Amino acid sequence: MLPTTIPLDWYLILSAVLFVTGVVGVLTRRNAIIIFMSIELMLNAVNLSLVAFSAYSGDIGGQMFVFFIMSVAAAEAAVGLAIVLSLFRNKQTIYVDDVNVMKW
């Protein structure tokens, strides 16, 4: 039976599961765009736990952090996708295994 209110721990567990999904995505996929999307998944999982902590403690700090994380994610999206574009232009691939010039 469901409780009448949601405990904070539910949000934390959900956030952990979503974060791990993102980690597995980064580790298993080789397509640079999908790796990029998995990183967004991880950022959003952290945002969820920050908002949950902020709401349950009645402090606005967590939601401010989420605001700033979103700005950083937008900047990251712009630069990351520009890198993918110039990678494709130079090597005709977006598979990270094919990009091993700097690998020792």
Q: Please, which residue, 90 or 104, has the CB nearer to other proteins?
A: 90
Tokens of 9: 């721990």
Report in angstroms how near the CB of residue 100 gets to other proteins at its nearest: 15
- Bridge-partner residues for 31, per DSSP? 95
Name the residue among 24, 21, 22 with its Cα closest to residue 40: 22
Report in angstroms how near the CB of residue 104 gets to other proteins at its nearest: 19
Report in angstroms how near the CB of residue 24 gets to other proteins at its nearest: 4
Q: Please, which residue, 44 or 99, has the CB nearer to other proteins?
A: 44
Please tell me the distance from the alpha carbon of residue 24 to that of residue 22, in angstroms, as a whole number. 5
Q: Please, which residue, 68 or 104, has the CB nearer to other proteins?
A: 68
Tokens of 95: 């598979």
